[in-house]
Amino acid sequence: MSHLVLGLMYGDEGKGRMVSALCHKYKDINGVVRFSGGPQAAHGVMSKRTDFKHIYASLGSGSHLGKPTFITRDVMVNPETLMAELNVLESKRSKKDNKNKPVRLHISPEARLITPFDVLSSRTDMIGLHNGTTGMGVRKAIVRHELLPLYVKDVFHPEVLREKIANYYSNTSPWREEGTTDQWEDVLNEYMLAATEMIRYIDYDILDMCSAMRYSVTGLVYEGAQGILLDPNVGFFPNVTAAPVLPPQKYFIEDVWLVARAYSTRHGNGPIRPKSMLPNMLLEGIDLEELEAKFLAEIKNPHEINSNVGYQGDFRIAPFSATMFRYSLEKFCEHYSDAALFKRINIVITCMDCIPPQKGKVGEELKRKFLDEILTLFREVMACSPSMQLQHMTEPDPYRLYYTDSPYQEDFPKRFEGK
């Protein structure tokens, strides 16, 4: 059984939590496929049963459960961050798990490399810092790739790879002029050491999303990076990611899981909702300024993995935006011209326990109303999409809404039936 997990908003929706929940629930899932983005896409996973917590950046969010990760050619790979993450994950797992269910990794030789100087460049580019960057070098590597393409398979020729990197950056960047000459060799040495360590995980059978299927006759989870509203063809330039968020349109997926929080979030600059957005559906009658203040004061997420430190900029929240929700759904539908590629399209609303009001009978009624309106909007968008209309789907009941109050993988989202 195949699953596709995508974020509907600006990232941080709960994709990692959903991937780990799927891997925990369906034992026949035999792998997680990372098909876009790079180490800038951090996904949080938590287990209440084992008190496990991890932030996945490059590995699939089911690795702690022994599910192999398949990294396709459309992913940006930094050997240093990848190997560091793998080592950290192994340190969190028990000796028994590491022995019986080791962390397995298959990397496409055609995946593109991120160098340490791409990372440094992203962290010193004032325009990039203003527009939005995670400081992981993804955009810089994509731009550099047009002039100097570097692939994972190049690590089989370490001396050549090292010379290509050194020659390119010594001629196109000011690193040596800024007094980094004494660190240049050390930086390259550490990078090449990680690249050499990565060699044992390179798999020439892995190319695109389809390649991983030969390893699993039972099922895969395709784990999206960031959110649809950060896709360069969908979002608000220049506050978008450089890598496409939406996958190719040619693979059959039984279950699509489109994830959104019960409130809006994003890092750094860029729109979080249209200025003309009406008050949140939960709090009708409150003016916009009062609503914003109420959210900032009352939303409490004890499991929030984001913060205001780092290169991304401030972590911002706002009320749930029906406008952006509809827009993102419509862009998803436009991307796929053949609904026969799917059996079911599911919406998952996360962090329902964090939005005010959250207690008592009145609060439960308001939450039900909130979910009812989302389900109505979801069905309306699907019905109006030429490619997604019911008669084109392969399932009698293809549009489903789920929600969750819990951040833990053991608590699979509950289905909301609606009116």
Tokens of 117: 């100087």
Please name which of 186, 78, 173, 140 lies closest in space to residue 311, comparing C-alpha atoms: 140
Q: How many CA atoms are closer than 13 Å to the CA of 350, on its beta-carbon side? A: 30
Selection from 133, 139, 55 nearest residue 311 by Cα: 133
Q: Give phi and psi for 135, each to the nearest 5.
A: 75, 20
| Mean predicted confidence (pLDDT) in 119-133 | 72
Contact between 131 and 175 under an 8 Å Cβ cutoff? The reply is no
What mean pLDDT value characterizes the chain?
Answer: 84
Per-residue model confidence (pLDDT) at position 360 = 60
Asked if residues 113 and 209 have their Cβ atoms less than 8 Å apart, the reply is: no
Q: How confident is the model at residue 277 (pLDDT cuts 50, 70, 90)?
A: very low
Which residue would you say has higher pLDDT here, 364 or 331?
A: 331
User: Binning pLDDT at 50, 70 and 90, where does residue 278 land?
Assistant: very low
pTM for this predicted structure: 0.90
Q: How far is residue 303's CA from residue 305's CA, in Å, rounded to a whole number? A: 6
Is the per-residue pLDDT at 178 higher than 60? Answer: no
Amino acid identity of residue 281, one-letter, is M
Residue 101 is encoded by which pair of tokens? 């269910």
For 95-107, the pLDDT digits (tens) are 888 888 888 999 9
Q: Give the 3-state secondary structure of residue 43.
A: strand
pLDDT winner (highest mean) among 180-184, 228-232, 286-290: 228-232
What single DSSP character describes residue 197?
H
pLDDT at residue 276, as a whole number: 42
> What was the pLDDT predicted at 177?
46
In order of 56, 111, 214, 220, the CA distances from 256 in angstroms are 21, 25, 21, 12
Each residue's pLDDT tens digit, 165-176: 988 888 776 554
**CA distances (Å), 136 to each of 124, 148, 400, in order?**
12, 18, 36
Chain centre distance of CA 193: 28
Question: What integer pLDDT is reported at residue 256 of this predicted model?
Answer: 93
- Give the confidence band of 361 by pLDDT, cuts at 50, 70, 90: low
What is the C-alpha separation between 242 and 133, in angstroms, rounded?
10
Taken in order 161, 162, 165, 166, the sign of the CA dihedral is: negative
Give the full edge-to-edge strand order of the sheet including 253-261.
105-107, 69-71, 32-34, 220-227, 2-7, 253-261, 342-350, 399-403, 414-416
